[in-house]
Each structure stands twice: as C-alpha cells, then as structure tokens.
Amino acid sequence: MLNIITIPAFDDNYIWLIHQEENNNCVVVDPGDDEPVMEVLNKLQLNLEAILITHHHPDHTGGVKQLVAATGASVYGPANEDIKELDYRLSEKDTVNLDKSALSFSVFDVPGHTKGHIAYLTEDALFSGDSLFAGGCGRIFEGTAEQMYQSLTKLSLLPADTRIYCAHEYTEGNLNFALAVEPENNDLVDRINEVKKKRANGQSTVPSLMHVEHATNPFLRSQQKSVMKVAESRLGKVPSSEIETFSSIRSWKDSF
C-alpha cells in the first residue's frame, strides 16, 4: 500500500516522501530543504532511492545536493530546465521505474509556472508542484497563460478520485479568491468552511481531490458561465475563448 508522508518546510512548502508499506526504500518530491527530510529518513529508518523534482525554483531544489551527498539518491527532473544535480532528464510520456522502492511514476509536461515544469503520477496520487494547487494554480513566471491553461486542462482529465499533492499550503487564500470569482458557488462555500476549520486546528488541507477541484477551483472552470461573466466584466468585452477567460482570472489573482 502506498504511504505518503507530509514533510513541512519553510513557511508553507510541502515535501512529499513516498514509499510502499513494509518497504524501507523511498522517494521524495521537491526537497527544498534537506534537514526535515533527513529527520524523517532517520526516524523511520528509510533509504532514499530517488529525488523527483518538478521545477527549478530553489524552494523545490535547495536540499538536493545535501541529500545526494548523504544518501546517494538518484535525481530526476525536467528535461527543459537547468538543474545541475539531475541524473535523469524527463519529459511527457517518460516513466520513472524505481525497483528498490517498487514505485513507478508517469511524467506530464505542465509548463506555465516555469518553462519546463513537470508533474508526476503514481497510482491515484498526482504530485503537481506549483502547477495545480488546491483551489488555485501557480503564478505564470516563465510560460504563457495559454500554456498554463493547457497544462491544467491536461491534469483535469485525470480520474475524479485522483489525489492532488501540490507543493504549498495556499488553499485558504486560493479559496478566498475563488469566492470572489463565484460568490454563489455553494460547493465552494462548503469547502471554505471546511478548510478554515482545518487551518484553525493546524491541519494540512492537502491533498485535494480532482472532483473537488472541478467544483471549486476557478482555474479549472473557465467554461462555466459564472466565471466567464466575471472575466467579461474585467475585460470589458465577452471573452473570445476559455483561454482568455482563464488569462483574465489569473491576472486578477496576481493582484488580489
């Protein structure tokens, strides 16, 4: 059975440690800091076989060099980004097969946040980095709105019960924005109330589920009349496409 451990880092980052139960080999995703990872490895007596990187930002890669030195782990990451520690460069349709950990990951190209951002899927667990967030999506730093829209659309086609392990605890802020977009979305109101209770109790709101994102995440809802109407009011014209709707809403979020 797949066991996924949450390792908090910095103010709001999540590093994910993945292993099969009764297997002492494991994988980590986006270790921006090596110290909390080493603490968990030592506590649980796990061997780190591989490090998976979604994109080049330092809060996702900062611990890689130290972890490799301490464990000898292999490093996998995006083919189209300059990450010097990579042993294996990955792109769409590649598969990462890890024999010791008995884990296999499918790779998706999801540019937008950065030019070469990738995501990993194993069983029903998606590790989306800073592309798809719970209740939102990443800022567009290096790509285009069209790229981000296409990336999110690709991920949204995964099964409804796919669990989304994003890399930050941004959910409450994302949903506050989502409510500004769709104030009459009852599913969204219910979700915000649940999230606020969790955060008040110091609980994580990640992972999310894909069907929850379809119902409440405005960046997966560009085809909805309610979202298109908001985009129209901001653009001063009817959006020419779902991409233009998405771009308008994403731009608003940047200054929200």
Average predicted confidence (pLDDT) for the chain:
98
59 counts as catalytic: yes
User: Which pair of structure tokens corresponds to residue 186?
Assistant: 């009852």
Determine the distance from the C-alpha atom of residue 61 to the mean position of all C-alpha atoms in its chain, rounded to a whole number: 15
The 3-state DSSP composition of the chain as helix, strand, coil percent (nearest 5) reads: 35, 25, 35
Are the C-beta atoms of residues 160 and 214 closer than 8 Å to each other?
yes
Catalytic hit among 130, 161, 187, 214: 130
113 is catalytic: yes
Quick one: what percent of the chain has pLDDT higher than 90? 100
* pLDDT tens digits, one per residue of 45-96: 999 999 999 999 999 999 999 999 999 999 999 999 999 999 999 999 999 9
Which of 19, 30, 33, 113 is an active site residue? 113
Which of 252, 221, 230 minimizes the C-alpha distance to 238?
230
Known active-site residue 57: yes
- Give the pLDDT score at 199: 98
Query: Residue 203, CB half-sphere, CA atoms under 13 Å: how many?
Result: 10
The dihedral built from the CA positions of residue 208, 6, 173 and 234, taken in this order, carries a sign that is negative
Q: Of residues 19, 55, 56, 117, which has the active-site annotation?
A: 55
Q: Which residues contact 233 (CB under 8 A, 6 or more apart)?
A: none
Q: What is the mean pLDDT of residues 200-223?
A: 98
Of the candidates 34, 60, 109, 117, the residue annotated as catalytic is: 60
CATH class for domain 2-221?
alpha beta
Beta bridge partners of 4: 18
56 in Cβ contact with 81 (< 8 Å): yes
Catalytic residue status for 11? no
In this structure, which amino acid lies at residue 92? E
Residue 53 to residue 38: CA distance in whole angstroms:
17
Confidence (pLDDT) at 214: 98
- pTM, two decimal places: 0.98
At residue 120, the pLDDT reads 99
Rounded CA separation 220/213 (Å): 7
Choosing from 168, 187, 190, 211, the catalytic residue is: 168
CA 230, chain centre distance (Å): 26
Q: Read out DSSP for 107-157?
A: EEE--SSSTT-EEEEETTEEEEETSEETTEE---SSS-HHHHHHHHHHHHT
pLDDT confidence band for 145 (50 / 70 / 90): very high
Domain map (residue ranges) of the chain: 2-221
* pLDDT at residue 27, as a whole number: 98
Q: Could you give phi then psi for residue 88, rounded to 5 degrees?
A: -135, 130
Q: If you average pLDDT over residues 126-139, what whole number do you get?
A: 98
Question: How many Å is the maximal CA-CA distance in the chain?
Answer: 59
- Average pLDDT on 148-164 reads 98
Q: Which of 30, 59, 109, 117 is catalytic?
A: 59
User: Would residue 211 show up in a list of annotated catalytic residues for this protein?
Assistant: no
In this prediction, residue 165 carries a pLDDT of 99
